Structure 1
Amino acid sequence: MKGIEKYISYLINHSGTVLNSAVKKQFAPFNLAPEQSLILAVLKRENGLTQHEIGERLKKDKANITRMADNLEKKGFIQRVRDPNNRRAFNVFITAQGEATYDEVLVIYKKINEEICSRVTAEELSEFKRILGKLTSEK
Structure 2
Amino acid sequence: MNTSHQSFAYTLHDVTCLFRKHFDRRAIRYALTRAQWRALKAIRRREGMSQTELAEFLEMEAIAVGRVIDRLAAAGFVERRADPNDRRCWRLHLTSRAHAVTDDMEVLASELRREALAGVSTADFEAFERVLGKIRSNLSAIESGTEAGAEFTSS
* TM-score, normalization by structure 1: 0.80
Cross-structure match for 2:131: 131
Flag the 1:26–1:10 CA change in 2: closer, same or farther, 3 A. Answer: same
> Aligned partners of 1:68, 1:12: CA distance in 2, in Å?
28
Name the Cα RMSD after superposition.
Answer: 2.2
- What SS does structure 1 have at the residue aligned with 2:80? strand
* TM-score, normalization by structure 2: 0.73
The alpha-carbon deviation at position 90 of structure 1 amounts to 1.7
The 5-angstrom pairing of residues 1-139 of structure 1 reads 6-56=6-56, 58-63=57-62, 64-137=64-137, 138-139=140-141
Cross-structure match for 1:3: none
Runs of 4+ residues over 4 Å off in structure 1? none
Matched to 2:110, the amino acid is K
The alpha-carbon deviation at position 37 of structure 1 amounts to 2.7
- Give a deviation string over 1:86-114, Cα, whole Å, max 9, x none: 34422101011111111111111111111
Is the 2:38–2:58 contact (alpha carbons within 8 Å) kept by the matching residues of 1?
Answer: no
> Aligned partners of 1:38, 1:65: CA distance in 2, in Å?
11
The alpha-carbon deviation at position 33 of structure 1 amounts to 3.3
> Aligned partners of 1:34, 1:128: CA distance in 2, in Å?
26
Is the 1:43–1:94 contact (alpha carbons within 8 Å) kept by the matching residues of 2?
Answer: yes
Cross-structure match for 2:149: none
Flag the 1:85–1:135 CA change in 2: closer, same or farther, 3 A. Answer: same
The alpha-carbon deviation at position 59 of structure 1 amounts to 4.5
Flag the 1:51–1:119 CA change in 2: closer, same or farther, 3 A. Answer: farther
- Give a deviation string over 1:6-48, Cα, whole Å, max 9, x none: 5333222221111100000111001123443333233334322
Matched to 1:60, the amino acid is E
Give the aligned length: 133
Tell which deviates more after alignment, 41-50 or 19-28: 41-50
Q: Give aligned-pair identity as a percent.
A: 25
- What SS does structure 1 have at the residue aligned with 2:91? strand
Flag the 1:103–1:134 CA change in 2: closer, same or farther, 3 A. Answer: same
Unaligned runs of 5+ in 1: 1-5
Unaligned runs of 5+ in 2: 1-5, 142-155
